[in-house]
Structure 1
Amino acid sequence: MRRLLGIGATVLGALGVLVCAAAIGGGWWTAVRTTDRTDRVASRLNHGLSEADVRLERVEKRLAAIRADLAEVRDEAEQLMAENPELPRVRAAIERLLDRLLPTIDRAAALADSLRAVAAGLRAVEDVVVQLGGEFEQPSRARTAADTIDRAAEVLNVPQARIDAVKSAAAVRLTRELIELVREVVAGSERLAEGLTGARREITDAHERVEQRRVQVVFWVRVAAVAHTLVWVWIGLGQVCLVGWGRRFARRAPVRSA
């Protein structure tokens, strides 16, 4: 009976050791998978952010060209302020400025409309981060940049009625109407540039936050794996002791009574 109990204890202890070893191996396997998955997700996010930044850089160059054209039109229009708008030469110069201005307004408005998707993306990213437990100062820079882009798009979306009113204005009012329109569009383009700069800055910050979050996740996964290992090693030591006790108990000769 003593031998049977000793063998049973040894078998149970050996099974316990195997279970502990399997638990330790499973813990590290899960940790490695989680770390790899975190690295892949962070890599995809960084790749997407890099592509977005490259696209925004191209948009920024296009916007700079539009702003340069608007600045030229504004300067020429302000120079015409000192001229007599009744003169055919001045009237022709104003009409040429209008012909240059209207396509530029259309380009700026189209660019602003395309950036509305960027604004929506900034808000969506912030909402996801908040749902995951992140915190932002209110108003956040991402939402401020998105709101700035939206307001700029509204300013640059000049109603056709406004353009028709400028075209049909009397000669004495035409220069003033033209300058007011140019100044509004210039202000809208400056606001759009401000929002675009904020969006690119937010993308740069997002790169840093993604990397920080990746490092934190990997660190705590490894800490959890080490803690998991220590717990099962401690349990496994008990199982090893059970194996040793069972073997000694099975080999111990029974004491016979005289």
Structure 2
Amino acid sequence: MKKILTLLSFITILSPSLVLVSCKTPNNNQDINKKTDENKKEEKNSSPTNEEKEEKTNSDKEDIQKDEPDNKSTNTIEEKKEKTDTFANKLKKELEDLLAKKQKQDIKEFASKLFSTYLEKSTQNKLPKDFSDLENRISKLFEESNFDEIKKELIVLFSESFNEKDGSIHEVSKKIKDLLGKVTKENKNSILEEIRNLFGEKVTKEFKEELKNKTTEINNLLTKDQYDSVKNKLFDLIDKISNLEKISIK
């Protein structure tokens, strides 16, 4: 392909000269040669050489590369972990500033965000395995036609995911009874789907309760002006978040 392009380029450069030659008389050879030489010089000056084209291409590539984000610095696991540590230290510095100024409301909001981040990340790491184990266990029980055990699993999930917003005890009991009555091999897929929903509700409930408890603990310490205790607990939390982040780095 490169040879073909070079040949075409060569033909393109020669073609104007050939036309001029065909239009002149044989008695004007000197003028023809002069004119041809002048045309060649003009074409040489106006048309970039292969070297010039290559230089321009390389220059364009360099310009594009300069404009592209440099991803090389984040390609290695170690560099990503270092960035995580840097961010953790930044969070600690922000917290120290808030504690030094004793800005209780800002500290509460800061702590709430930290707890939320920690619980989300810990759930992300733990949730898939826990649910996979449960789903495999239920599927195996279906294969064994062990419907009594499936019903027990459903009752436990209902009790763990129950929320007052779901309605009265009577309404929840009716839901459980209706669902248990559908536990058959034919309804395996719909039962597994219901188990997924119940498991999700259970995790959400646990998340909110733990977030509330941890936030209350920090608020109580702030009420007593125990800033050192707040600092220690939140520093420890930042380290845990950092470690969870590092675990997810691939």
Q: TM-score, normalised by structure 2?
A: 0.32
Structure 1-normalised TM-score? Answer: 0.31
Higher relative contact order, structure no. (Cα contacts within 8 Å, ≥ 6 residues apart): 1
